[in-house]
Amino acid sequence: MCLVLLGAAAATSWLIFESEPTAEREGATRTSAALVETVRVERGTYRPTLRVLGRLEPAQEVELSARVPGRVVALEPALSPGNLVAAGEPLLRIDPVDFEHAVAIRAAELRQIQADLAIEEGLQVVARQEFELLGADLPDGDRSLVLREPQIERLRAQVAAAEA
């Protein structure tokens, strides 16, 4: 019985090893060359078109504002989205009549404030003379009010601001 079992096991092992599939090189080599399309190249200037998803944001954002109001009469051609402008180059021109008008108005305002200051200084001289005639003794805070010093300081500040 043992010999029959050993013979059956040996026959089964031999049958398994003999019936194994063998690896073949089928499909590993290409039998035909790949088809290639050729195109004649032409020199030119081309702009690529990119189709992407998402949101495009500029690295920097610049907001322009004029120091004086006026109508824009000339605009730099390079001043358009995506272009670069050299430092110090004018970007646009405002009508010079508007600028000259604004300067004349500011000069008139300065002269008016200077005149107000001169009048206030005259009033201070009168107030000082009247104060000296009275011969009254007042605390420093009240004395400066009587001599109109805060009004003069306010007008001097307005003159400085108008000159600026």
Euclidean distance between CA atoms 104 and 111, whole angstroms: 11
Q: Which two tokens stand for residue 146?
A: 């009587």
Helix pair 96-134, 149-163: axis angle to 10 deg = 160
What per-residue confidence (pLDDT) applies to 29? 64
Task: Report the 3 state secondary structure along 119-150.
Answer: HHHHHHHHHHHHHHHHCCCCCHHHHHHHCCHH
> How many separate domains does the chain show?
1
What per-residue confidence (pLDDT) applies to 30? 62
What per-residue confidence (pLDDT) applies to 26? 66
Q: Are 109 and 161 in contact (CB under 8 A)?
A: no
Q: Is residue 132 a part of any domain in this protein?
A: yes
Structural domain boundaries enclosing 139:
72-163
Task: Report the 3 state secondary structure along 55-85.
Answer: CCCCCCCCCCCCCCCCCEEEECCCCCCCCCC
Q: Is residue 129 a part of any domain in this protein?
A: yes
Q: Is residue 55 a part of any domain in this protein?
A: no
Q: Is residue 6 a part of any domain in this protein?
A: no
Q: Is residue 31 a part of any domain in this protein?
A: no
Q: Is residue 131 a part of any domain in this protein?
A: yes
Mean pLDDT by 10 residues, the chain (164 residues): 94 88 67 80 86 80 77 83 82 84 89 92 88 80 83 92 89
What per-residue confidence (pLDDT) applies to 77? 82
Q: Is residue 145 a part of any domain in this protein?
A: yes
What per-residue confidence (pLDDT) applies to 122? 92
What per-residue confidence (pLDDT) applies to 4? 94
DSSP 34: P
Q: Is residue 147 a part of any domain in this protein?
A: yes
Tally Cβ neighbours within 10 Å of residue 121: 14
Q: Are 112 and 125 in contact (CB under 8 A)?
A: no
- CA dihedral (8, 12, 15, 17) in degrees, to 10, reads -130
